[in-house]
Structure 1
């Protein structure tokens, strides 16, 4: 899927109608979850039938477009299916039991309920919620694709406004020029002191956007907390303070995302192959940032570094521009000597690798060299990736057989 995003401009009454549609989606999702919990042997078709029953029972649900109700049903069924698969695979820890939604921020339409005016750059939503016609604000031209290529339309609510996402069925390679081979490859070792150290010895420091904005965000949070009244309906002043606090966090997340995007694009343009760290699990290799942030002393720094965003954009641009990206098991990459292969045990405080064979190198650079070595040994030849599978299979996983159904969950 190729996603185009535009900001929506409309009247306050239209924004209220969007909020009502989002609340209805949340209501349908939670009712479907309750129906699944209270009845045995409930399948996807049963939940679809229950959605139709809700439309007959509640007038405000019937006002919402039928495809938007179906999409709310699909959301909860995806969560249920993920829970079933985790139980079958007997993964350690929590299995991801479906939870009731408290903060839904989007409503999604399929092929009906909307009409696009490409000449005036406007979109009209025609269901019973009376959202009406909204202006699309954005630089992307609406005429470079056909209207039948739009698979879904999503309205997203964020801290500073409402956005419309057009999801297109396109092959990005058809509209993106392929890059010329550079005859270069690189290995990346990610960390906290440096965002990454590559196999050539180049380093990039993390931008630390959250650390820089933390003092201002804490001040906004204190202002919001002072206006909070427990047990009572919150005032408009509290809602304004809450929006300012949310906008501050949104700005930080966007800064981090843009930095990761530019850095990943620069690497993709200058290298034919990029190898980066992943973590070995039972069925596949993946970077378990979620487990790493359980360390209370490092959680804030790990989240602020943006490893997941950086990897995501490396994988996306790699497939988009025809480059090869490989996830490598990082086990012993900082302990194993790149020259002779001997394991030299050292603590985290030791930043220089010194081996009996006489090889001396910076610890992080040697780890990057080992990552590149693991990625290239035994993988000589041409590789082909399917761009339409990005999101299901976004990287080549070294040393494992790819499990498509596991990655798609």
Structure 2
């Protein structure tokens, strides 16, 4: 499954119609959550049946395509099912009790409610919501794919406009030339001093896109806050300031994504086996270093490593992170050191090297030991690319790289 994204161009009333459709999806989802809260024994079939009931009760719900209404119900049930799953697994802390959404930003159609033009450069939404025909702006060629391979079309609202995402059922590996074996393997240790250090002694600096833009973001946020009027209808100046602030955040997000994509692809192209730590980033960001860790994008980097590894037929191995920084990569003895100690000096064998490079060598050694069991991915969690291969239960897809075929 791949996702091709295009920017949508249309008139103001068409964009307002998209906003109305998004609000309708939010309304349906929240009503389904309310039904589950108020009634005992509500299941998946009851949620789907309730979306049909809402179409009969409200005209603006009926105006939205039926598959889009079903998908809104799928979103509600997905959050409920996740809550049940966490309870069964006895997850520590909060279990993710379903909440009402206040800012839904997308509406998703299945295989009805839309129609592509003959040249595949325009799309027409055929429901009664009034979106009409919109122009698709992008470098991908939809003529390459039969219509029946397009499983879903999602309209996403972002700070800089509206986008259409086409979920296409195709195995991209069939159309990609496999890379020649390099006879190389590498271990990678991500950190806050370097973006990552590898077992070969190479390091890559953290670009710190958020840190660089933080002053501009704070200034834009202050300007937005000055125009906010509590309990009153917000002025156009406030809405413009809010959009400027959101666009700056979007730019930082895209910079970060582009960087991790480039680095992950470079690592995969240069090596046949890549080993990395199976870090629990969600737990790590609860510390004082949360802002710096998020800016480093460790989770996104791992996701792209796994995806490119799957795409190009390379082996990626996640290993447990325990003591990878403490153990000596030369003799295997444990050498305790604090976070402020940046150089590994072994008191047993005298080996001296940068702390992160020592950890990367240990990670590679662990990866080579477990290479025959790479399917487990250290803790038995599915790799990111395996999730992206099929649509999730709520109809959402991972926005993975879409190859230009």
Range of TM-score over shorter length: over 0.9
Change (3 A) 1:27 1:347: same
Match of 2:358 in 1: 366
1:125 aligns with 2:116: no
Task: Output one character per residue of 1:264-304: Cα deviation in whole Å (capped at 9) or x when no partner.
Answer: 111111111111111xxxxxxxx3222211113x1111111
What CA RMSD, in Å, does the superposition of the two structures yield over aligned residues?
1.7
Task: Output one character per residue of 1:100-131: Cα deviation in whole Å (capped at 9) or x when no partner.
Answer: 10010000000100001141510000111110
Structure 1's unaligned 5+ residue stretches are 279-286, 384-394
1:343 aligns with 2:323: no
1:6 to partner: Cα distance: 0.2
Structure 2's unaligned 5+ residue stretches are 394-405
Change (3 A) 1:133 1:32: same
Match of 1:387 in 2: none
- Asked if 1 retains the 8 angstrom alpha-carbon contact of 2:21 and 2:129, the reply is yes
- TM-score (normalised: structure 2): 0.92
1:141 to partner: Cα distance: 1.1
Match of 2:371 in 1: 379
Task: Output one character per residue of 1:156-177: Cα deviation in whole Å (capped at 9) or x when no partner.
Answer: 0000100000000000101111
1:329 aligns with 2:320: yes
Match of 2:377 in 1: 397
- TM-score (normalised: structure 1): 0.91
CA distance in 2, matches of 1:118, 1:207: 44
Match of 1:289 in 2: 281
CA distance in 2, matches of 1:191, 1:142: 40
- Asked if 2 retains the 8 angstrom alpha-carbon contact of 1:325 and 1:396, the reply is no
Change (3 A) 1:317 1:214: same
CA distance in 2, matches of 1:359, 1:59: 74
- Asked if 2 retains the 8 angstrom alpha-carbon contact of 1:118 and 1:142, the reply is no
CA distance in 2, matches of 1:185, 1:169: 32
- Asked if 1 retains the 8 angstrom alpha-carbon contact of 2:317 and 2:371, the reply is no
Q: Secondary structure at the match of 1:34?
A: helix
CA distance in 2, matches of 1:351, 1:208: 20
- Asked if 2 retains the 8 angstrom alpha-carbon contact of 1:352 and 1:360, the reply is yes
CA distance in 2, matches of 1:379, 1:199: 17
Match of 2:299 in 1: 308
CA distance in 2, matches of 1:368, 1:197: 7
Match of 2:310 in 1: 319
Match of 2:168 in 1: 168
1:362 to partner: Cα distance: 1.5
CA distance in 1, matches of 2:244, 2:382: 43
1:236 to partner: Cα distance: 0.5
1:337 to partner: Cα distance: 1.3
Match of 1:100 in 2: 100
- How many residues are matched? 386
